[in-house]
Amino acid sequence: MTYFYKMTEEMEVQILARLPPKSLMRFKCVCKSWHALLNNPHFVAKHLHLYNNQPSSTCVLFKRSVLSRTEHNKEELVFTFLILRNDNESNADHNLINCNVEDLHFPRSMGLKSRGQFIELPGLELGESVHIVGHCDGLFCLSLHTGELVFYNPAIKEFRVLPQSCLEDACSCTLGFGYDPKRKDYVLLSIVSYGEEILDDERLVIHPPQAEIYTLSTNSWREIETHYLETETTYFWGNETFSAYFNGVFYWLGYEEKKEFVSFYDRLEEEKKQVIILFDTFDEVFHNMPLPDCFYEFPSHEMSLTVWNESIALFGFYRCEFEPFEVWVMDEFDGWTKHLSVVPKVDQEVDIPLALWRRNEVLLVDRDGRIFSYNFDTENLKYLPVHGASRGDFQAVVCVNSIVSVK
């Protein structure tokens, strides 16, 4: 005799919370109770934790430019999910990394001109691209070459085009995307610059920054104070589109600049002091902190900010004679500790450090546009089965998959 047992609701939740987002989207049609469960914020949070808390692999969203197959001397963009296996040292092929590759197909309604996975660009200028502003909980903020900002969850194929800014047209802006744990909402921060002006007496005056914040739940922008983005004589500016986000705080590499110069030429001779700019979502206040002391003594470090091993870290190359790759980790007292300094043993010259993944590996791009992973401990090098254009447009973001909605 065969016996059938009805699973308890808790058992269903525990099983469903470990399944891929694509499967869960299909399961919404199974019954009304599952549809309600999969839309429940508590289940969404549980799935975010349980599904992504599996040590077998690491997910990376990788953007690369490739040569167009239809037009000469033109590049197109491809966004690819790389699922990197964390047991690569046991891979039989010692030259290739063990990973799954899935190219993204963006919805046409997003406004991008594309052929399959290939996104056509209007030109080769840096601004005529699609930039990853940031990632949080499976959501990506994208800055499109059309001028629009988009929240996108590729795992469930949902996106939202953000409304226009509440501030007047600016010369440039620094963006940061993340989660506000106090208000339980996803937010986008924008610090805008209005450029400079040369007065009749030839003095050059820098216009002050303004800032605004967008919240997903209200689908609107509001202006915020810019206290601590200036002193009596200087302003602080972010110089990166991409920000690092960790525990309710945004981080940008930036610089400190005088508010006023005797002349335009006086400004050209002024050296900007590099700093890190922070924004705490809890009290909505800006802060700044210095880089490691040696960065000022030997200003040849080309660094990026990231979250690594549950800490904020700087990683990149010290462009001296031997060009070591360095990782600096922020400590609990807002100081810096050099975690490692190694000279990668590679045949090709390394062009771009893309992302730190696992505890001891970095994704790099060589001068030919080939992408590979380098292990600091074993000094092993493994190539990825994707290729970009030489000196092309690259970005890589370690990410997770989720069913968090942007609707």
**What local confidence, expressed as pLDDT, does residue 159 receive?**
96
Query: How is residue 96 annotated by DSSP?
Result: B
How far is the C-alpha of 145 from the C-alpha of 384, rounded, in Å? 28
Taking the C-alpha atoms of 48, 54, 55 and 58 in order, what is their torsion angle to the nearest 10 degrees? -50
Decide if pLDDT at 404 tops 90: yes
**What local confidence, expressed as pLDDT, does residue 5 receive?**
59
Range with lowest mean pLDDT among 196-210, 250-264, 337-351: 337-351
Decide if pLDDT at 247 tops 70: yes
Decide if pLDDT at 369 tops 90: no
**pLDDT tens by residue, 95-124:** 778 788 899 989 888 888 887 888 887 765
**What local confidence, expressed as pLDDT, does residue 166 receive?**
83
Q: Between these two residues, 140 and 71, which has the higher pLDDT value?
A: 140
**What local confidence, expressed as pLDDT, does residue 232 receive?**
84
Return the top range by mean pLDDT from 244-248, 317-321, 386-390: 244-248
Task: Give SS3 for 289.
Answer: strand
Give per-residue burial for 360-374: e unless 16+ CB within 10 Å, then b: ebbbbbbeebbbbbb
Model confidence at 286, in pLDDT bands (50, 70, 90)? very high
How far is the C-alpha of 400 from the C-alpha of 135, rounded, in Å? 9
How far is the C-alpha of 116 from the C-alpha of 103, rounded, in Å? 9
Task: Give SS3 for 294.
Answer: helix
Model confidence at 378, in pLDDT bands (50, 70, 90)? confident
**What local confidence, expressed as pLDDT, does residue 153 receive?**
96
Q: How is 360-395 classified by DSSP, letter by letter?
A: TEEEEEETTSEEEEEETTT--EEEEEEE--TT---E
How far is the C-alpha of 122 from the C-alpha of 112, rounded, in Å? 10
**pLDDT tens by residue, 12-69:** 889 999 999 999 999 888 888 888 999 999 999 999 999 988 777 889 999 988 887 7
Sequence-separated (6 or more) residues with CB below 8 Å from residue 218: none
Largest interatomic CA distance in the chain: 98
How far is the C-alpha of 270 from the C-alpha of 170, rounded, in Å? 24
Decide if pLDDT at 398 tops 60: yes
Side-chain-side CA neighbours of residue 133 (13 Å): 24
Sequence-separated (6 or more) residues with CB below 8 Å from residue 98: 84, 85, 87, 88, 91
Q: For 129, phi and psi rounded to 5 degrees?
A: -140, -170
